[in-house]
């Protein structure tokens, strides 16, 4: 391996180790949005921060990554959720069904999409009961990697084909989306083999991939009319920045301006690592939409 590749791989490994070194943070409350054990949302109450106070805090909906694969659940992103709560946000950390045919299987069709849609639909009622400090009128969705895809998709449900079961009739009442290293353009992600064939697995593989793209690929669900920012490390080896750039280009062609923040010398995991400077950048991007 050339020296540059070896250094990049070592840096990426160190970033991942740092991001996963923080102990999981238990939520202040949890609520189910369905009968399956994975159909649950954890809530973190706002603690401090520079906003107007805990009595009226913007709500940040967090969707975790992990290539839609079962071994990666919401626990690994709880330090990030807690970090946002300490910055004054109310936080809802959403779990959803992931791969079911062994640890290498990415996602379930249609279960993964069923769950995200159901969670978002149930959220206003659950938030009122579990997190009264949250101001649902100021909701921002964020997600990392595969969760970034789901955040973009969740905000674009009004752009789904008319026969899609998850379609809603009007844009969701969101202040915006902050997608972190998102798997945002399935065509480019497939060409780059992002996360080892994950996008094809998510849609069922084979001919089903092409058949289901129009219901699943955020780059085909534009324009949304919802303020959207992508935050991406230029040194990301897991989801190369070409994927985010392709989504931004597709948005521009659809007549929509999408913000794209590219961070130098940053890889995949610092975006959700409370110990990394990139995490503060993410919080600021969320704040710009939410406060």
Helix 146-155, helix 111-130: angle, nearest 10: 70
Residues 6+ apart with CB under 8 A from 61: 91, 92, 94, 120, 123, 139, 140, 141, 142, 151
Task: State how far the Cα of 169 lies from the Cα of 112, in Å rounded to an integer.
Answer: 21
What is d(CA 17, CA 288) in angstroms, rounded to the nearest whole number?
Answer: 29
State the pLDDT at residue 55.
62
Q: For every residue of the chain, which 3-state class applies, written as one string?
A: CCHHHHHHHHHHHHHHHHHCCCCCCCCCEEEECCCCCCCEEEEECCCCCCCCCCCCEEEEEEECCCCCECCCCHHHHHHHHHHHHHCCCEEEEECCCCCCCCCCCECCCCHHHHHHHHHHHHHHHHHHHHCCCEEEEEEEEEEECHHHHHHHHHHCHHHCCCCCCCCCCCCCCCCEEEEECCCCCHHHHHHCCCCCCHHHHHCCCCHHHHHHHHHHCHHHCCCCCCCEEEEEECCCCCCCHHHHHHHHHHHHHCCCCCEEEEECCCCCCHHHCCCCHHHHHHHHHHHHHHC
Q: Report pLDDT digits (tens) over 80-120.
A: 999 999 999 999 999 999 997 677 899 999 999 999 999 99
Q: Which of these, 42, 33, 40, 153, lies nearest to 90 by C-alpha position? A: 42
Q: Which residue is associated with the tokens 């946000």?
A: 89
On whether the CB atoms of residues 94 and 74 are closer than 8 A, the answer is yes
pLDDT of residue 54: 47
Instruction: Classify the C-alpha dihedral 19-113-141-199 as positive or negative.
Output: positive
CA atoms within 13 A on the CB side of 190: 15
Q: Determine the Cα–Cα distance for residues 183 and 192; give it in Å rounded to an integer.
A: 11
Burial class for 122, CB neighbours closer than 10 Å (0-12, 13-18, 19+): middle
Among 224, 281, 290, smallest CA distance to 257 is for: 224
One digit per residue, the tens of pLDDT, for the chain of length 291 reads 467 889 999 999 999 999 999 999 999 999 999 999 999 999 999 997 554 444 689 999 999 999 999 999 999 999 999 999 999 999 999 999 999 767 789 999 999 999 999 999 999 999 999 999 999 999 999 999 999 999 999 999 999 999 999 999 999 999 999 999 999 999 999 999 999 999 999 999 999 999 999 999 999 999 999 999 999 999 999 999 999 999 999 999 999 999 999 999 999 999 999 999 999 999 999 999 998
Q: Is the dihedral of CA 214, 230, 8, 78 positive or negative?
A: negative
């Amino acid at each position: 391996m050339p020296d540059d590749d070896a250094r990049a791989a070592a840096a990426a490994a160190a970033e991942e180790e740092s991001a996963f070194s923080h102990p999981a943070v238990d939520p202040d409350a949890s609520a189910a949005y369905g009968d399956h054990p994975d159909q649950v949302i954890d809530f973190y109450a706002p603690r401090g921060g520079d906003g107007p106070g805990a009595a009226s805090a913007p709500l940040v909906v967090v969707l975790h990554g992990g290539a839609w694969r079962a071994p990666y659940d919401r626990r690994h992103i709880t330090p990030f959720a807690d970090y946002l709560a300490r910055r004054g946000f109310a936080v809802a950390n959403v779990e959803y069904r992931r791969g079911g045919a062994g640890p290498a299987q990415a996602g379930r069709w249609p279960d993964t999409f069923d769950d995200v849609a159901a969670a978002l639909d149930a959220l206003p009622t659950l938030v009122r009961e579990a997190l009264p400090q949250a101001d649902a009128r100021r909701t921002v969705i964020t997600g990392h990697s595969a969760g970034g895809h789901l955040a973009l998709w969740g905000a674009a449900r009004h752009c789904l084909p008319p026969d899609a079961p998850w379609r809603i009739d009007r844009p969701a009442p969101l202040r915006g989306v902050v997608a972190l290293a998102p798997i945002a353009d399935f065509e480019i992600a497939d060409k780059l083999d992002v996360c080892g064939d994950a996008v094809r697995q998510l849609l069922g593989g084979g001919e089903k991939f092409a058949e289901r793209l129009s219901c699943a690929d955020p780059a085909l669900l534009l324009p949304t009319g919802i303020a959207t920012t992508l935050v991406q490390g230029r040194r990301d080896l897991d989801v190369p920045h070409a994927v985010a750039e392709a989504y931004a280009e597709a948005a521009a062609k659809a007549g929509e301006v999408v913000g794209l923040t590219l961070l130098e010398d940053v890889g995949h995991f610092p975006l959700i690592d409370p110990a990394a400077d990139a995490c503060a950048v993410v919080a600021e991007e969320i704040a710009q939409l939410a406060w």
